[in-house]
Amino acid sequence: MDATIKLVQRLEAKYGSVTNAPDDDPILKKLYSITGAADSEKKTERVYVVINQKTGQKWGFKSQGAAGKYFHHDKSWFYGLLQAKANPKRKYRAEILEVME
């Protein structure tokens, strides 16, 4: 966080405002690279979803292991569901969703 503040201060000292800085300025590019990396870490989170194929009920979990544990299986159970895709003979199916925060 301190690095971004220092970069903004340098841009303001050089151009009067960050918005006045040209797009090819190396300080501005450095600022974009830092803030872009921080934003990309915050934006997405994986949710491991188990779906009952008969009722349509869905359960969301933070990890594959948590999904398996909830259904009294080991962590590879979710992975097996995921690989089986939508097999109509299975009671459950699995999906991985990327959720924006």
Question: Domain count of the chain?
Answer: 2
Angle at 93 between CA 90 and CA 96, to 5 degrees: 165
Q: Are 37 and 48 within one domain?
A: no
The pLDDT value given to residue 93: 86
Q: Are 53 and 64 within one domain?
A: yes
Q: What is the pLDDT of residues 1-42, one digit of tens each?
A: 577 788 888 888 888 877 778 888 888 888 888 776 555 555
- Print the domain residue range for 88: 44-100
Q: Are 38 and 73 within one domain?
A: no
Q: Are 74 and 51 within one domain?
A: yes
Average pLDDT over residues 86-99: 80
Q: Are 31 and 73 within one domain?
A: no
Q: Are 56 and 94 within one domain?
A: yes
Q: Are 49 and 23 within one domain?
A: no
Query: Is residue 27 within 8 Å of 11, Cβ to Cβ?
Result: yes
How many residues comprise the chain?
A: 101
Distance CA 80, CA 94 (A): 9
The pLDDT value given to residue 100: 67
Q: Are 55 and 91 within one domain?
A: yes
DSSP at 19: G
Distance CA 3, CA 31 (A): 9
